[in-house]
Structure 1
Amino acid sequence: MSDETIRLATIGRIIRRRLRLLLVLAVVGALVGYGTSLLFPPRYTTSASILLPGAWQERELLTQAEIATSSVVVDRAAAALRWSGADGGKLRERVSAKAADGNIIKISGTAETPERAQRLSDQVAKEFVSFAARIAGDSANPGAAGPEALRQLVAQAGRRITELADAADPGRTVESVQGRTELTKLRTALQEAMKKLDQANPAAGKATMVVMGPAARPAGEAPPTRVQLIVAGALLFFLLGVIGHLTAARTSRRLRTEPEIAAALGSALLGTVDVPGERPVHRPEGRGPQARIRRLLGTDIPWDITAPQASGDEAGRQLRYRRVCARLRDQLPAARRLLVVVPDGDEIARRAAGQLAAEAEAENDPSASSSSRGCPALRVVGVSVSRPLVPDRDAESGALVVLSAGSWTPEELAGIAGACADARHEVVGVVVAAPVRARPTRSADDPPDGAAAAIAVGLAARGGSV
């Protein structure tokens, strides 16, 4: 299995086992997004398009877009609109321009209402066209000799040259022919000079900019809208919840293997027992609002506990308990009583300790065989992990710690071991309880697995069908 598959499986496990908590976080995020939308009033945006006839290079279009949002243009628009509290500096933050395909400059305006957004875009577009015409020399000073006036003078000079050439003696003398030739050369030179002037100043040959109609009145709010903020807040808090669980899992110090647990308690591992159960068992019901909230949100059990594995039959599970009792009998042959310490909140360990005590009592039954007698009597006590306190030593010969894997840190287990030492109990062993899924009960008519296998082998040997 690849690392990516493992990570996806981990995220799926978080969503399944912490769904209620993640939904609560999503609701909180939606409320935060709604509150944010109340702080920022709705905005509306619309655009006005301006056509620039002629041949324009990309850099020239970018320059015109910068001019459209310059302080000169926006200040003139603010003076024409006369909005209270909206000078040129504030309006410049609401105006933007960009060059589109087809020599078009789009000027966008943002305001609190659709009407004001429309007026702002139209006014800025109007002021931009006026300012651009002034720069080109079309309307700032009509009396000045600009490129257009020079072109008119050249045309007049060309016509005058033609009149002089026609009035001259048409080829009767050498002087008249030379004069007509010189006048033709002069007219050609003037035309070439005008062509070079147009090439040197392309803007002079371009037509005036045209506003392509008024800006459309916006029908909806500009992003981010209130709905977008609410959805974004819910998704953000949901993702933060998942990321928080992943971070906590990577930084978790809970012990998951039997050797680590035995080393933290400073004792030997006596064995692992199975506790059947189809559903994840909750911790013992606590008192107070915090315990109820934890149970309501589903945070009373760790989410990163692996799913219970399939278990064998009841005989196999009882055999594990008998082996633990046999190891206790071999390790403490003279002991008559042991204290079984179970951390509070570990429901799996509590059930395993109860089963272990029942098995020890059954082996000490006078009706049992003499070979199985001699297991110490077990007394189960619960110990708080936050402030561990173990009963003082009475008739016990030591303490047996029963707990489940993946629930406790080394510091918590060290605290339990210290509490046992304070009560003069030696930790004689550790038993790890593992949750398993019990197999469905076989009906009385179904043969055991071994019998079914034997029947199948016999039929195959005789050549019959299985």
Structure 2
Amino acid sequence: MSEETIRLVTIGRILRRRWRLLALLTVVGALVGYGTSAVLFPPRYTASASVLLPGQWEERELLTQAEIATSSAVVDRAAATLRWSGTSGGELRDQVSAKAADGNIIKVAGTAETPERAQRLADRVAQQFVSFASRVAGDDADSESEEATEPEALRKKVVQTNRRISALASAADPGQTVEGVQARTELEKLRTALQQAMKKLDEAETATGKAGMVVMGPADKPTGEAPPTRTQLVAAGAVLFFLLAVVGHLAAARTDRRLRKEPEIATALRSTLLGTVDVPGERPAHRSRGRGAGAWLRRVLGLDVRWNMPAPLLSGDEAAGRIRYRRVWARLRDQVPSPGRLLAVVPEGDETALLAAGQLAAEAGGDPSASGGDPVLRVVEVPVARPLVPDRGAESGALIVLSAGSWTAGELTGIAEACADAGHEVVGTVVAGTVRARPARTAGRPPRTAAPAAAGGDDATGGTA
């Protein structure tokens, strides 16, 4: 697993090198959100009607009234008055909600497929709620006038009785006889009982007045969809797929086991690192060479080039690049003191290493006597999945050329074992890296170039170093 810290530069690299894939996945996510809005969450509209509850109400009482507004007794009656085909009270119960607002107001909301149906649903439920609450409190229309006059008449009679009691108390024996004291005591008890009865009457009248609920006008016709709207689902799908794509790239980078450091590569191949060489190129040459619709799609989306490879550094001049190749050959001569032919093993698909091996073959030359006894390279590509190296012939060893960050330790071990199985001793490892070429010179002596030679099993020869 890669222990490289995920930084903003990593996110920027994903956006820069995978923008086509990210754009495609974002569009796919938007289409998925649109399909979800059409199938699972069709457009819905919500309208609300307000019901005023006069009098003094506690918070728990308002919550109870909100529950009554969405009860089956109210919603079933609303469904019966609406007479919508194929819609029962049980289905409408999921489309109705109620909540207590400030100022003793119950807001009844109805949700439906069209603004008109939502408005009608909210109005009918509010009306049925008021009617049901009135019946529960006993506030029927037939007894409304009678109940309004009886408490007032009773109150007048209580006032008259209090006056009569006061008169009797004054007419009683003013002395301190036992009979007088008892009479005044009984009269005060009667006065207290009447006051308590009037208090209970006032409380009962207040409770009866609570049932006088009023619908505060018809529900407003909704002008917009209820959340989640189609626009919200489309945006959510696009953002979700984009984030999943970025997180997937980061997770793949964290679990990447391909070796990037030269000492780790040499250890996996159980060989000596001879050095690193540069291959000019604007971007890493890890392109897929497949054909067909799949390969074309990968090239269009940019999947044929790895995104997590570092940007190529700016190369030095021509002489600096050739010095690197010559130093590699100097170390190779120390590893293979006797002249002879060498086998340059390149993992299949590693175009950077293939170009570097061709340049090394050009530096080696085709004739050992002409090149001062230096070995000559024969470049071969070896499949990584099932590595198979040609049997040993005139070669005196194998030189493995590959690029960093392309292969895992297990894959490199397989290549080394294939070389040993074919009778080739691995004399060294060369790591190739991509660099950006400097701008072409406009004046002066043109730089010396060496044509790289690459072959798949044939001899590769070139000019002497």
- Range of TM-score over shorter length: 0.7 to 0.9
1:317 is the counterpart of 2:321: yes
Question: 2:448 is matched with which residue?
Answer: none
CA-to-aligned-CA distance 1:168-206 (integer Å, 9 cap, x gap): 7997x5569999998798567534543356558963453
CA-to-aligned-CA distance 1:1-35 (integer Å, 9 cap, x gap): xx999432222211111111111112222222222
Question: 2:110 is matched with which residue?
Answer: 109
CA separation in 1, counterparts of 2:158 and 2:201?
16
The answer to whether the 8 A contact 1:326-1:375 is kept is: no
CA-to-aligned-CA distance 1:375-426 (integer Å, 9 cap, x gap): 2111212222234333332211121111111111223223322332343322
The answer to whether the 8 A contact 1:283-1:347 is kept is: yes
CA separation in 2, counterparts of 1:338 and 1:142?
115
Change (3 A) 1:286 1:169: closer
Structure 2 matches for 1:12-51, cutoff 5 A?
12-40=12-40, 41-51=42-52
1:430 is the counterpart of 2:429: yes
Q: CA deviation at 1:225?
A: 2.6
3-state SS in 1 of match to 2:275: strand
CA separation in 2, counterparts of 1:352 and 1:4?
27
Task: Give, as a single letter, the amino acid of the residue that structure 1 aligns with 2:403.
Answer: S
Change (3 A) 1:313 1:330: same
Moved more, 374-383 or 193-202: 193-202
CA separation in 2, counterparts of 1:349 and 1:202?
94
Change (3 A) 1:96 1:7: farther
Question: 2:80 is matched with which residue?
Answer: 79
CA separation in 1, counterparts of 2:144 and 2:238?
65
CA separation in 2, counterparts of 1:359 and 1:433?
15
Question: 2:213 is matched with which residue?
Answer: 209
Q: 1:234 aligns with which of 216, 229, 238?
A: 238
Question: 1:414 is matched with which residue?
Answer: 413
Moved more, 82-91 or 308-317: 308-317
Structure 2 matches for 1:67-466, cutoff 5 A?
67-139=68-140, 142=143, 151-152=151-152, 154-161=154-161, 164=164, 174=172, 189-195=193-199, 198=202, 203-206=207-210, 208-283=212-287, 285-361=289-365, 366=370, 373-440=372-439
CA-to-aligned-CA distance 1:196-229 (integer Å, 9 cap, x gap): 5655896345362221111111222222233332
Task: Give, as a single letter, the amino acid of the residue that structure 1 aligns with 2:32.
Answer: V
Task: Give, as a single letter, the amino acid of the residue that structure 2 aligns with 1:306.
Answer: P
CA separation in 2, counterparts of 1:191 and 1:433?
106
> Alpha carbon RMSD of aligned pairs, Å?
3.5
Change (3 A) 1:350 1:221: same
Q: CA deviation at 1:443?
A: 6.7
Where does the alignment leave 5 or more consecutive residues of structure 1 unmatched?
Answer: 446-466
3-state SS in 1 of match to 2:139: coil
Q: CA deviation at 1:94?
A: 0.6
Q: CA deviation at 1:150?
A: 7.1
Moved more, 180-189 or 270-279: 180-189
Scaled by the length of structure 1, the TM-score of the pair is: 0.83
Where does the alignment leave 5 or more consecutive residues of structure 2 unmatched?
Answer: 445-465
Task: Give, as a single letter, the amino acid of the residue that structure 2 aligns with 1:238.
Answer: F
Scaled by the length of structure 2, the TM-score of the pair is: 0.83
Change (3 A) 1:284 1:397: farther
3-state SS in 2 of match to 1:221: coil
The answer to whether the 8 A contact 1:66-1:97 is kept is: yes
Task: Give, as a single letter, the amino acid of the residue that structure 2 aligns with 1:30.
Answer: A
The answer to whether the 8 A contact 1:198-1:204 is kept is: no
CA-to-aligned-CA distance 1:54-104 (integer Å, 9 cap, x gap): 332222222221111111111111122122221111111111111222222
3-state SS in 2 of match to 1:283: coil
CA separation in 2, counterparts of 1:205 and 1:288?
83
3-state SS in 2 of match to 1:243: helix
CA-to-aligned-CA distance 1:438-465 (integer Å, 9 cap, x gap): 44467768xxxxxxxxxxxxxxxxxxxx
CA-to-aligned-CA distance 1:246-305 (integer Å, 9 cap, x gap): 111112221111122222222221111122323343525322222212111101121111
